[in-house]
Amino acid sequence: MGRTEFAKVKRVVIKIGSSLLTKGGRGLDTSSIASWVSQMVGLKQRSIDVVLVSSGSVAEGMSRLGLKIRPKTLHELQAAAAVGQMGLVRVFDDNFQQHGHHAAQVLLTHDDLTDRQRYLNARSTLLTLLKFGVVPVINENDTVATEEIRFGDNDTLAALVANLVEADLLIILTDQKGLYTGDPGVYPDAELITQISVNDSRLEKMAGESRSGLGRGGMYTKVKAARLASRSGAATVIAPGVYDDVITQVISGKDIGTHFLPDIEPLVARKRWLAGQLQVKGKLVLDAGAVKVLKSDGKSLLAVGVKSMSGKFERGELVSCIDENGLEIARGLINYGKADAELITGKSSAEFEKILGYADDAELIHRDNMVLM
Ligand SMILES: Nc1ncnc2c1ncn2[C@@H]1O[C@H](COP(=O)(O)OP(=O)(O)O)[C@@H](O)[C@H]1O
Ligand SMILES: N[C@@H](CCC(=O)OP(=O)(O)O)C(=O)O
């Protein structure tokens, strides 16, 4: 989707980062929030569905509690988030109410999107809110998320939400003009990229981490988010949140920020859910032949093409398939638990019964349960 096509956007996910929302950590920037909300209301008046992913609970909690630096321990972070989230929802609710619109607080954990049933539930609820004309205001449920199951950064969460609701466009508002060829705070000569394909291999080198002490991901997670969003066909724009009418300008196709072209075939719904999973339980190293049939022929993975494996996984859990150089080729739900999978590694399906005493599935990972990375 080129910028000129943004006029046709029907559903947009807008993510606002912590440093923007909290004026670099000095409390909520109420005048900017009022402006963003009125722009979002403008989109709704044009029948565009709007989902907001708002960070800032920890930063606002820090400001309310008088904490000068971001807490290090998980419990302190969680406590700060609980305090700050109150302020966040209040200010968004007040602003939407002033325009006669409703907002709804939705707090998600990674588990909610990993479990297929809960994923489908979250999707139905969000779609119902949109049907009611409500703007969901989403954040990670920081107070209950443990370290292992955190999204950690809201860029990833926003991309998964864009997948979940099948948005056409993800707008990530941040404290920079967009993605530069390098972190402009470190490389003053870095140049702003206005348009780039999510598949461009230079992206890894350009995008650095956050240095603000308020936000989490920096540009690295924003680029990853653009890639993830593209899996459901969404374009992404990383745009400067401080610009006047930034949201309205992006939607009207103005050349601001960095526009990521999706450039890949959108995945079907189930595969999108698979691609969005963040926790893999094991790794399978494939031989060159298996890599080829997976990549070019879209076939299922057979045990005969697996050289070795690591991790701990049960039947039905998510594993990553890598080539002999460690490059991830695919992810999928494996048909055998680790103990049995190891026994049949490198063997043909005809031998499974003799080795295991049973033979469930001929494939180690069926192609319907696998997504290429
Ligand atoms: N290539 C880059 N272009 C622009 N900013 C970059 C780049 N690499 C790293 N950054 C850093 O990413 C920061 C934005 O990310 P972050 O602090 O997580 O913001 P947010 O709170 O909006 O998510 C910038 O302020 C900058 O320091
Ligand atoms: N859930 C956390 C998100 C932190 C986060 O991702 O921040 P950012 O990098 O500014 O989007 C919060 O609200 O503080």
CA-based nearest residue to 161, from 292, 296, 301, 54: 54
Residues 137-164 pLDDT 10s: 999 998 887 666 677 789 999 999 999 9
Q: What percent of the chain has pLDDT over 70?
A: 97
What is the structure's pLDDT at 204? 82
What is the structure's pLDDT at 235? 96
Compute the average pLDDT of residues 94-103.
98
- pLDDT: which is higher, 79 or 111: 79
- Mean pLDDT, the chain, rounded, equals 91
What is the structure's pLDDT at 200? 92
Domain residue spans of the chain: 3-272, 280-372
What is the structure's pLDDT at 87? 95
d(CA 154, ligand 1 centre) in Å: 13
CA-based nearest residue to 17, from 79, 80, 48, 60: 60
Q: Is the pLDDT of residue 215 over 80?
A: no
Residue 114: pLDDT band (50, 70, 90) is confident
Q: Is the pLDDT of residue 110 over 70?
A: yes
Q: Is residue 206 classed as helix, strand or coil in its secondary structure?
A: helix
Tokens of 24: 């670099």
Q: Is the pLDDT of residue 52 over 80?
A: yes
Q: Is the pLDDT of residue 341 over 90?
A: yes
What is the structure's pLDDT at 24? 72
Tell me which ligand sits closest to the C-alpha of residue 151.
Answer: 2
Pocket test for ligand 2, best of 29, 67, 76, 154 (most atoms within 8 A of CB): 154
ipTM: 0.96
Compute the average pLDDT of residues 127-136.
97
Binding residues: 15, 55, 142, 154, 174-175
What is the structure's pLDDT at 257? 97
Pocket of ligand 1 (CB under 6 A): 17-20, 55, 174-176, 179-180, 182-185, 206-208, 210-212, 215-219
Residue 70: pLDDT band (50, 70, 90) is confident
Q: What angle do CA 273, 110, 151 make, to 5 degrees?
A: 105
d(CA 182, ligand 1 centre) in Å: 10
What is the structure's pLDDT at 207? 85
C-beta pairs of 151-154 under 8 Å, 24+ apart in sequence:
151/110, 151/278, 152/216, 152/217, 153/215, 153/216, 153/217, 153/221, 154/15, 154/17, 154/53, 154/54, 154/55, 154/216, 154/217
Q: Is the pLDDT of residue 116 over 90?
A: no
What is the structure's pLDDT at 149? 60
Q: What angle do CA 252, 96, 104 make, to 5 degrees?
A: 105
Interatomic CA distance for residues 98 and 94, integer angstroms: 6
Interatomic CA distance for residues 222 and 228, integer angstroms: 10
Show the DSSP H helices in the chain as ranges.
18-21, 30-45, 57-65, 74-98, 110-114, 116-131, 154-165, 203-206, 218-230, 246-251, 269-275, 288-297, 338-344, 352-356
Pocket test for ligand 1, best of 19, 194, 196, 258 (most atoms within 8 A of CB): 19
Atom of ligand 1 at shortest range from CA of 172: 22
- pLDDT: which is higher, 331 or 111: 331
What is the structure's pLDDT at 296? 85
Residues 292-336 pLDDT 10s: 999 888 899 999 999 999 999 999 899 999 999 999 999 999 999
Phi/psi of residue 99, nearest 5 degrees:
-95, 5
Mean pLDDT check: name the lowest of 184-188, 291-295, 342-346, 356-360: 356-360
What is the structure's pLDDT at 330? 93
Pocket test for ligand 1, best of 15, 70, 191, 219 (most atoms within 8 A of CB): 219
What is the structure's pLDDT at 148? 60
Compute the average pLDDT of residues 83-94.
96
Mean pLDDT check: name the lowest of 23-27, 213-217, 222-226, 313-317: 213-217
- Quick one: CATH architecture of 280-372? Roll (2.30)
The CATH T-level fold of domain 3-272 is Carbamate kinase (3.40.1160)
- pLDDT: which is higher, 113 or 294: 294
